[in-house]
Structure 1
């Protein structure tokens, strides 16, 4: 198949031309228009590599669309996959929480239900995006390590992150923000919130460090990519680096991002942070890290469409010093390489034909078509 009359976003430049894909891979691209009568006219839109998402909680929203509502797995997975593709995401690491700040986390049967849906739909070939697994391990719980050990041999597992959402540190240095978030989430009165806060501190003291060391050791043994989460200080970063983290997810302070880069870790920030103009938790703004050359990867986190929007916003903002290829790299080749997927994320001969055709005629990126391994899926 040939896509004609497009602006190809390459690793270092944008060129006008055409692209040919064959057998699921990019066969060639050129700075000239194809004369083949069957070529698809891209009408001057941008042709990008398919987006690569390392951390999205989106799947859980479809399995539990409302409290105490369990949705059928095949329908939940299909709806989630459709939203990923409609957002231009052709490779997605579905983030599933192991250990929960409220009650010790989903039991193994609930976790297995979501993982089985990913594996079953992959096996049947009904997914349009390439779905892999990201296990988000909430450290301050007795159940976290046993649950992780039961799931760590899942073939689709590509990333593990170590999280600690206990009060007074990392994302929740501000106890006021902590109380505001969890009282709203769990509908707790002041007395219940006081008890919840004490309980989380007790759990963190007992389990955070033992679980951190044990899970990190299993990841090193199995050569699973490890990420930190919400590091706020240089000490946090040193702790994350010492156990083998290579990705720094959502550092909350500038000094933590700087220390992560010093240690050679890839700094990942939320695309919603870019779209909204700052962090909803009052932490460091992603655009500030971009302006200082300390941003490597963007993740849509809780809003899939933010990934493409954020890349174009960064490229359009002179504060960041990023051109369009550099901004697109944050959502394509950089995340792909961070987890060892070297067959995608760039427009180059021999790479997977995961592609997104998008225009900006109305001031925002709008997706017209998406291809996954050379097959048009949107």
Structure 2
């Protein structure tokens, strides 16, 4: 981080030159499930991993960003479920990359992506799940020439400075991972314009194509998840990941794994719905240093979603919780300055009793907490700035009327904040 720029290089020239010096490890990977999208990429990766592991496959997984520790980005597949790369193995890979790069200008993400390909090519596995970092067309992961499947999850407004200020422009960038003749799965889209761009690109490139709502879909019935595609129905346990949007995410993963040619049956899928894990996304914290600061009986949740689309699905998940067990809702939020903060907060209008805004100490782009409180008020929420998550929890605890139902507290607005919270609580991803 000290040696290299943190931004994005919107071309593939530098990463391609670096990979060539490394012997093009990206061409020696197991079959790749390549995942792009604005929201839901991580959930799709988590579901895909669970499906494949339950079916007995060894699965490499690359996700970004990490929440607490750098090695979270690399899960190496083994016969017993995989493990995060060991620090010494990751350090060795980065040192070898630095040596061949020989001081040339390169971004941190490009180095980390090169490490993905190096690690995944040197450790045997049956499949590699690789999540796009930013966009698609010029993302450093997009040197994969023959994906087993390209999976594109919901597209909405985000990273407008890099990807464009209209959803169809963003969709065009994400569609850049589609390769001529290779399978494409399009997850549930909230914008018809985005779906039209994706379908058009896949059809023009003569790709086998599966579209959510046409070729496959999922719905709830009798507190179960029903998945349906051209082969028939699967009656599955509801996904462990919270929120109705996870039905569509799970369905996209099932469709993608099948499109990639992997044999995943109903029993495998049923087990996967209960074994799936995705830290920092509607994750309930039940123990730890921050949990110890709660009002008696309170619930603490953390979610790293950071744009209006993510705010909407998180608010819907909270509404589902409210139906089952009503509680007063409080937000503790920190955000960075590249996001639509007021747009994010609007999703919680009429739901959140109060918002405490905090600095995101893990990012230099943190919105000052007083300014963020003003953005929350612009969305018609009651808000006040507080110095830290711990102070917000203690303030809530010390002022809580114990005659009231204990509150539900959501820490939200940034993956950086989610990582900060998991570190402070003593519960990093493993």
Give the TM-score taking structure 1 as reference length.
0.33
Bigger RCO of structures 1 and 2 (CA < 8 A, at least 6 apart): 1
**Greater share of strand residues, 1 or 2?**
1
The normalised TM-score by structure 2 is: 0.30
